[in-house]
Amino acid sequence: MSYPSGIPTGASPEPPMSGGPAYPPGSPYPQPNVLGDHPVPGTQRNRSVLIAILIVVVMAVAGLAIFWKVLSSTGSSGFAWGLLFAFLPVPILVLLYLWLDRYEPEPAKYVLFALAWGAFVATLLAIWINTEAGKLLGESAAGGSRAAVFVAPPVEEFAKGAVIVLIALIRRKEFDGIIDGLVYAGMVGIGFAFTENILYYGRIYRALAEEGGSDAGLQGAFTLFLLRGLMSPFAHPLFTSFTAIGIGIAVRHRHTAVRYLAPVVGYLAAVFAHALWNGVASWAGAAGFFGIYLVLMVPIFVGLVIFALVMRSRESQMIASRLYDYVRFGWLTAPEVPLIATLRGRKALRQNAKRHGGQAIVAAKAFQHTATELAYLRDKIVRQVIGPEALPAEKKLLDELRARRPSVPFPPMPAFGPPQPAMGLPPGQPGYSPGPAGYQGPPGGYGPYPPSQFPPSQ
């Protein structure tokens, strides 16, 4: 995006971007000199359908294999009780991670893919390798302390982290950073823990039921549920979150060394935390386990929660800062930014839209979604993470934003902080009024907008 001739006094010009300058609204968009090959109509759709079918087949095969493996280890009654206890925390955990991802929710198909990967593919791979490693180490088929500490952590964290890397590569233009990574880490961890818990609950039920009857089996499964399902349902998502943080840092950084090293460091941290947890559970005894749980694991979990909330707050500030770039050139007005960049403003816009009917709600949500995508794309351009290939995507999002805006019922603006000067498109552009004469954009020129100028996130 190029500056007009007048730059506010004291404002430093924007650093050069690898993709070259963009464009103010109304100016000609860049056109390719030579037209490349274009796919035959329908080819992209057919390929997507084939990929979807392949994914469903792979998941079905892995699901049947893991189902048979778990059922043969637990028996039908153990499997049924294990399934019940394992499922209980799943909806709550899924909703918590979806609540974290409120600015730009990840597509449902990718969320379900990560969940299924954790439940079927990752567990199948981990169970097979852990079992074979246990045999080599002379431990039982149900596992042992050495396999649990030295084999399971690197294998399981690799199996879980692989899907986050895969999604980041597939959605490299839309995978925006740490929050996205944490959401996928949560999903794959929840799926993995779900299947693993069925196995553990079912095994203990079967073993105790064979000795003391179904009541003894049920009591043992419930006791284990208290330890795994209520005290530590966050364990697998927590471990994989370290890998996700590394991947999130990598996708937002333009230096090659950081992009390769950050995921590796994150993976090693995940392996270490997982090994520490398994080691304490295997060797410390009941008193040691509860001591380490309270002194170490709970603070780590609380710290990660705080970190995630801080990241979401910074996400709000980033969105506001990048959208004010477009306020400068008239694509948005300054009072509209908090309706997109803050949770309070987003809620207010949608509540106001409800008064105007279902189509208004759809329009408001679409407007917020488009503007949020635009902010993330702009941030990658400024960071020089992406280059010239971003210009068509930016053009498309700006056109969508202008097309959606007339259908959005905006609430009264004074409720969202101090009034901001109105901005307008250059003369002759429909849909906007020219801004005040001599107005040069947000205070301070380019860069983060003062947080005090819009309501805090809730």
d(CA 425, CA 328): 9
Reading the block at residue 333, the tokens are 């007005």
Which pLDDT score, from 0 to 100, does residue 144 have? Answer: 58
Which pLDDT score, from 0 to 100, does residue 9 have? Answer: 40
> Exposure pattern of 316-348 as b/e (b: 16+ CB <10 Å)?
bbbbbbbbbbbbbbbbbbbbbbbbbbbbbbbeb
d(CA 16, CA 39): 33
Which pLDDT score, from 0 to 100, does residue 20 have? Answer: 38
- CA angle 443–400–448, rounded 5-degree value: 20
- Give the position of tokens 């990598």: 250
Dihedral sign, Cα of residue 113, residue 177, residue 319, residue 348: positive
The set of residues, in sequence order, having a beta carbon less than 8 Å from that of 448 and lying 6+ positions away, is 317, 320, 321
**Which helix H or strand E contains 51, and what residues bound it?**
helix 43-87
State pLDDT tens for residues 256-277.
Answer: 899 899 999 999 999 999 999 8
d(CA 101, CA 421): 31
Does residue 446 sit in helix, strand or coil? coil
State pLDDT tens for residues 193-233.
Answer: 999 999 999 999 999 999 889 999 999 999 999 989 988 88
- The count of C-alpha atoms lying within 13 angstroms of the C-alpha of 204, restricted to the half-sphere facing its C-beta, is 18
d(CA 456, CA 343): 8
- Segments making up each domain of the chain, as ranges: 53-283, 315-453
Q: Indicate the angle between helix axes 152-170 and 235-251, nearest 10 degrees.
A: 40
Which pLDDT score, from 0 to 100, does residue 267 have? Answer: 97
Does residue 217 sit in helix, strand or coil? helix
Reading the block at residue 265, the tokens are 């460091």
- CA angle 457–235–170, rounded 5-degree value: 65
d(CA 283, CA 422): 66
- Give the position of tokens 């995006």: 1
Dihedral angle at the C-alpha atoms of 387, 390, 391, 394, nearest 10 degrees? Answer: -140
Which pLDDT score, from 0 to 100, does residue 385 have? Answer: 81
Which pLDDT score, from 0 to 100, does residue 422 have? Answer: 38
* Contact (CB, 8 A) for 266 and 245: yes
3-state helix, strand, coil in the chain (%, to 5): 70, 0, 30
d(CA 278, CA 261): 26
Q: Indicate the angle between helix axes 43-87 and 178-212, nearest 10 degrees.
A: 40
Name residues of the chain where pLDDT drops below 70. 1-45, 140-144, 413-458
d(CA 368, CA 340): 5
Own/partner pairs for 72-75, CB < 8 Å, 24+ apart?
A: 73/199, 73/202, 73/203, 73/206, 74/198, 74/199, 74/201, 74/202, 74/203, 74/205, 74/206, 75/202, 75/206
pTM of the model: 0.76
State which amino acid sits at residue 48: S
Does residue 172 sit in helix, strand or coil? coil
Question: Which of 217, 221, 231, 174 lies closest to 197 in space, CA to CA?
Answer: 221
d(CA 165, CA 414): 43
d(CA 327, CA 423): 6
> Exposure pattern of 214-243 as b/e (b: 16+ CB <10 Å)?
eeebbebbeebbeebbeebbbbbbbbbbbb
* Contact (CB, 8 A) for 449 and 15: no
DSSP-derived letter for residue 452 is G
d(CA 302, CA 313): 17
d(CA 194, CA 189): 8
Does residue 174 sit in helix, strand or coil? coil
